[in-house]
Amino acid sequence: MTEAPLLRVYELIKKFGDRTVLNGINLEVSSHEVVCLIGASGSGKSTLLRCLNALEVPEAGSIELLGVDLADDDVRGELVRRQVGMVFQSFNLFPHRSVLDNVTLGPRRVLRHPKAQAVTAALQLLERFGLAEKAKDYPDRLSGGQQQRVAIVRALAMEPRLLLLDEITSALDPELVGEVLDVVRELAATGMTMVLATHEMEFARDVATSVVFLAEGKIVESGPPEQLLHDPQDERTKVFLRRYLEGAG
Amino acid sequence: MASQDPSGAAPSTPLTRPRSRLWKWTRRRPRAISLASVALLIVTIVLVFALSPGAQSFGHFFLSPHYLRLAFFGDESQSVPPMWQAFLKNVGLCLVAEVLVLLWALPVALLRMSKSALLAGPRLLATFYVDLARGLPLILVVLAVYFGFPQLEIPFVSSRTWFEYGLFCLVFCYGAYVSEVYRAGVAAVPFAQTLAGKAIGLNQVQVLRYVTIPQALRIVIAPLINDFVSLQKDTAIIGIGAGVIEVLKAAQINQGVYFNDTSYAAAGLLFLAICVPLTRLAEHFQAKDQELRLAGAIQVTA
């Protein structure tokens, strides 16, 4: 008997007005898997991620998370997001709170952990990712890479079952990309289940258990990274990847 | 094009155009020039008043030190009330009103921002109230309340003191303005912050409390002080409907006794003494907010 997947997406459709952004997505993610979504801007990667943590409500199809259909009336977005962390392209740290207060806000107010416990746990996490000495600083004093690492720590502090990463290196200067990707590599190595949208193909090949290529709101092709990135079957995937390889020079 | 010279001396517009001597002079001695500029302004104003045909009678009727003293400190023999005392009533009214305005505007703003279908009725009411209160001149509200409420003969409502009626009018009008300030402040916080708050599991109320409102506060503080200044000035209108001797009423009594208008100047000075520093304070906060924005402490990008 195989374990039921952590997440099962079935025929998902999401529209913004007349525009269909997701057009029948099917996807399964099991525990400890790392699924990389690739595809051009506007292909629906971000929207799909936002549907997975109930920030967006799809028009049709279903999302089953931990055995629960998210369309159920009794499902609360905030309860879903306790277990599904998300990191954004533009960091979105709270500028009025210190690094430590950014990280402890969720554990203290959502999980109702006592302050001392939340602070200890947060400091441990910050320490683990080399950010301990930044705990008292405000986000504007940090580099982009540091801010994004703090944002990851903020999501991890909630001890999520699933972590969604939405192009988390796209807003970074090239020399800062590495430190953020290293954090994700480490998380992958420790078995964190992740779905991430990325343009870093090398990185996707390293960490992904499967890669999914999206175009115009549909999954064109998916498979293990070696196969999808080096031997794509669909013409559109080939064109997309060729452009990336040329871009990488 | 053939005229392009690869050596770099391509034909282009010149980099120099002669500046005027005045410009160069100003640039060299900015302090002296700005002092001279201010002096010129003051001299002009003084001259305009001093040389006007009615300068002497204007000075006597509006700027007489003797009547200014009488206005400020009153005259018991003529039963003229001291204006500084009357002004305290304006200050008290405005302080109590401000506290109530800040409180009352919050539920109004929250209601206007709500999206729940359940609150559609109250939301419509709140919108109607804000339109009404912002559209009506305060003086009309004052007249309606002072003359209208007692006539209603509703047990509690119709037998209030002038102070309570005055409070009601100010809170009614300014509550609407301040609720809009709150709303604009919350709207000015990038939506990405709300998303980030939600993403760590905060519910709607928690997002407002821990993420949006703390950031909105810094944005609204300057406009709030501006509204407070207006409210302070508008306490002068409250005296119209009531038998209360606030500062404008006191000035009128004074003017009626001495046939001298200096008391109005006195009232003006009293208001200025409070309002000008407050306005400076608002500008200070605005400048600080701007500074933070430029320093990038407030994320402007979504």
Is-contact B249 B86, C-beta < 8 A? yes
Is-contact A87 A156, C-beta < 8 A? no
Nearest CA in chain A to B209: A109
Query: Model confidence over A63-98: pLDDT tens digits?
Result: 999 999 999 999 999 999 999 999 999 999 999 999
DSSP β-ladder status, A19-29 and A210-215: unpaired
Interaxial angle between packed helices B262-295 and B247-258, expressed in degrees from 0 to 180 and rounded to the nearest 10: 150
Query: Model confidence over A180-193: pLDDT tens digits?
Result: 999 999 999 999 99
Contact at CB, B201 and A158, closer than 8 angstroms: yes
Shortest distance between the Cα of B180 and any Cα of chain A, in A, equals 23
Q: Assess if residue B106 is contained within a domain.
A: yes
Domain spanning A7-248: which superfamily? P-loop containing nucleotide triphosphate hydrolases (3.40.50.300)
Tell me which residue in B196, B206, B215 faces A96 most closely, judged by beta carbons: B215
Query: How far is the C-alpha of A53 from the C-alpha of A163, rounded, in Å?
Result: 9
A210: DSSP letter:
E
Q: Is B299 on the interface with A (CB under 8 A)?
A: yes
Tell me which residue in B192, B201, B211 faces A110 most closely, judged by beta carbons: B201
pLDDT at position A249: 45
pLDDT at position A148: 95
Residue B301: its chain A contacts at CB < 8 A?
Answer: 90
Count other C-beta atoms under 10 Å from residue B152's C-beta.
Answer: 9
Q: Assess if residue B145 is contained within a domain.
A: yes
Q: Assess if residue B219 is contained within a domain.
A: yes
pLDDT at position B76: 80
| Chain-centroid distance, C-alpha A232 | 24
Query: How far is the C-alpha of A142 from the C-alpha of A139, rounded, in Å?
Result: 5
Taking the alpha carbons at both ends of chain A, their separation in whole angstroms is 47
Q: Is B291 on the interface with A (CB under 8 A)?
A: no
DSSP B109-121: HHHHH---GGGHH
pLDDT at position B302: 35
| Chain-centroid distance, C-alpha B180 | 14
pLDDT at position B293: 65
Q: pLDDT at residue B244 above 80?
A: no
Structural domain including B131 reads: 70-74+81-295
Residue A145's identity, in one-letter code, is G
DSSP β-ladder status, A218-223 and A84-87: unpaired
Contact at CB, A110 and B297, closer than 8 angstroms: no
pLDDT at position B238: 82
Check residue A190 and give left, alpha or beta (phi > 0: left; psi -120 to 50: alpha): alpha
Residue A96: its chain B contacts at CB < 8 A?
Answer: 214-215, 218
Contact at CB, A92 and B192, closer than 8 angstroms: yes
- Which residue in the block uniquely carries the two structure tokens 């000495």? A133
Contact at CB, B201 and A79, closer than 8 angstroms: yes
pLDDT at position A1: 44
Residue B196: its chain A contacts at CB < 8 A?
Answer: 88, 92-94
How many cross-chain Cβ pairs, A to B, lie less than 8 Å apart? 71
Q: How many structural domains are present in chain B?
A: 1
Q: Is B218 on the interface with A (CB under 8 A)?
A: yes
Residues with pLDDT less than 50, chain A: 1, 249
Residue B153's identity, in one-letter code, is E
Q: Is B296 on the interface with A (CB under 8 A)?
A: yes
Mutation site for B-interface testing, chosen from A91, A105, A161 by largest number of B Cβ within 10 Å: A105
ipTM: 0.92
Q: Is B194 on the interface with A (CB under 8 A)?
A: no
Contact at CB, B202 and A86, closer than 8 angstroms: no
Nearest CA in chain A to B192: A92
Percent of chain B with pLDDT strictly greater than 70? 92
pLDDT at position B10: 66
Q: Assess if residue B19 is contained within a domain.
A: no
Is-contact A52 A7, C-beta < 8 A? yes
The token pair that represents B86 in the structure block = 């009357």
Query: Model confidence over B70-90: pLDDT tens digits?
Result: 888 888 887 788 888 889 888
Query: Model confidence over B105-131: pLDDT tens digits?
Result: 999 999 999 888 999 999 999 999 999
Q: Is B49 on the interface with A (CB under 8 A)?
A: no
Shortest distance between the Cα of B112 and any Cα of chain A, in A, equals 22
pLDDT at position B7: 58
When computed from its CA atoms, the radius of gyration of chain B, rounded to whole angstroms, is 28
Q: Assess if residue B269 is contained within a domain.
A: yes
Q: Is B192 on the interface with A (CB under 8 A)?
A: yes
Shortest distance between the Cα of A80 and any Cα of chain B, in A, equals 8
DSSP A121-141: HHHHHHHHTT-GGGTTS-GGG
DSSP A76-117: -HHHHHHHEEEE-TT----TTS-HHHHHHHHHHHTS---HHH
pLDDT at position B137: 93
Is-contact A81 B199, C-beta < 8 A? yes
Contact at CB, A53 and B199, closer than 8 angstroms: yes
User: In 3-state terms, what secondary structure has residue A220?
Assistant: strand
Mutation site for A-interface testing, chosen from B189, B195, B200 by largest number of A Cβ within 10 Å: B200
| Chain-centroid distance, C-alpha A172 | 16
Tell me which residue in B195, B210, B295 faces A109 most closely, judged by beta carbons: B210
Contact at CB, A55 and B298, closer than 8 angstroms: no
CATH number at residue B191: 1.10.3720.10
Contact at CB, B214 and A96, closer than 8 angstroms: yes
Burial of B65 (C-beta count, 10 Å sphere; 0-12/13-18/19+): exposed
Instruction: Give this prediction's pTM.
Output: 0.80
